[in-house]
Amino acid sequence: MAEPLRVALAGLGTVGAGVIRLVEANAALIERRAGRPIRITAVSARDRTRDRGVDISRYAWEDDMTVMSERGDVDLVVELVGGSDGPALSLARKTLGAGKGLVTANKAMIAHHGMELAALAEQNGAPLRFEASVAGGIPVIKGLREGVAANRVERIYGILNGTCNYILSTMEDTGRDFAEVLAEAQAKGYAEADPTFDIEGTDAAHKLSILSAIAFGSTIDFASVETSGISRILAADIAQADALGYVIRLIGMAEADDEGLFQRVQAHLVPFDNLLAHVDGPTNAVVVEGNFSGRLLFQGAGAGDGPTASAVVADIIDIARGMDTGFEADRAFSIPVAGLEAMAVADSGTRQSRAYIRFMVADGRACWPRSPPQCVMPGFRSKA
């Protein structure tokens, strides 16, 4: 049996504690599949005394998580802190710069700095993995990077944010309005105290830009994602959509053609007979269309400690299998960074689509006693 892969864990929130539970519960199975034991050697978080439901006393503690990249008993660092910049980015840079593997669930950091980190990984022969950054436990990144590697991907689209999907499907089922359902989502832990990134589409846009890079062999271009959210959708919109044969879902969609790369996140009317219309609750679903594979659907839990921890540990296992070969360092985005194309941004003005428009008007008509009555909007005069 090979030497253990020694892992440091930065961030002990819901997902971090889930990783510890998973590694402990399935230790024997993980060892057989990885070909070597997986051992957590060091951890770091903001509060050492907090009860997380797992025993962390057996691991070395670091108040400064960036120090973990320097430890001699650490081969790989798992970053579960979050945030596009700050300590998480510093830890990622130091870890990869030291030639050590990095696994992260941080979609904001990858969307903003993924190209830099992938290049740093290649320069230092260090594996970089981020399956858990998109769609929780759904292996959609692995599916794109490996399962459809022989295909030209023509389009990728789907439900990428479980919070929004929970809110919209609950409004649909109950007839309640947005604010009330959002408060319920926060109480259940599906939405953050500040839900702006979720409900305004930013979270889904982060994920879409990562998927686009892998699907189309392009550099990440988060800035060009046309993004809008669901905060202005009313229960009346949900009811009207139902009457027309649709449900409303927040959809991220990307496609590449001769004009360039088009990426958009916005609420869509999805017909009842579409697969995505039946995705309810805090669930994610991604559709990939390849020129030979045809249409593929990836669906499952998009968040939560179990599914996200599952994706994190799957990345750790992959690195444990291939760490000695150096191959993993060249495939963070399927192909080396130098081979990724900086694609032009496709002009959305040249694309045709149908739209639903809701507008409110005041009933302010002025009526004259004629036979039959004639109603004229204010500001207009009737003829003499």
Active site residues: 207
Residue count of the chain? 384
Strands of the 60-61 sheet, one edge to the other: 60-61, 38-44, 5-10, 76-79, 101-104, 128-129
Residue 374's alpha-carbon distances to 75, 154, 365, 379, 381, in angstroms, are 82, 55, 10, 15, 11
Torsion sign over Cα 297, 197, 112, 100: negative
CB atoms within 10 A of CB 46: 12
CB 277 within 8 A of CB 169: no
The single-letter DSSP state of residue 334 is S
Torsion of CA 213, 214, 215, 219, to 10 degrees: 20
Torsion of CA 141, 142, 148, 154, to 10 degrees: 0
Give every CB contact of residue 309 below 8 A, 6+ residues apart in sequence. 15, 18, 19, 21, 22, 132
Residue 285: closest CA among 158, 377, 119: 158
3-state SS, residue 158: strand
CB 216 within 8 A of CB 343: yes
